[in-house]
Amino acid sequence: MGDTKRGRERKGQKKREQRIRQEIDETLDAADEPPVSDAESPDVTETDLENVSIVTTEDEEEAA
């Protein structure tokens, strides 16, 4: 039996569907946890409030 253009197109479509299904399965099977980084974590023991302004609820009500 000869090779037909329709047959080649159908095979290409099937391969695309298989790739999409495989990608979906890999995504769904992936761990829900983010990847662990080898970089050191930043030191957050000290808080730097130099550029932070604190607004109380009373100040917000007066501004409205």
pLDDT in tens, 2-61: 778 888 888 888 899 999 999 988 888 776 666 677 777 777 777 777 777 777 777 666
Assigned domain for 11 exists: yes
Assigned domain for 5 exists: yes
Assigned domain for 7 exists: yes
| pTM metric for this prediction | 0.39
Assigned domain for 37 exists: no
Collapsing DSSP to helix, strand or coil, 61 comes out as: helix
Q: Which tokens is 49 given?
A: 């409030």
Q: Which tokens is 3 given?
A: 């090779």
b/e map of 27-55 (b: 16 or more CB within 10 Å)? eeeeeeeeeeeeeeeeeeeeeeeeeeeee
What domain count does the chain have? 1
Element (H, E) at 27: helix 5-29
Which structural domain range is residue 23 located in? 1-32
Assigned domain for 3 exists: yes
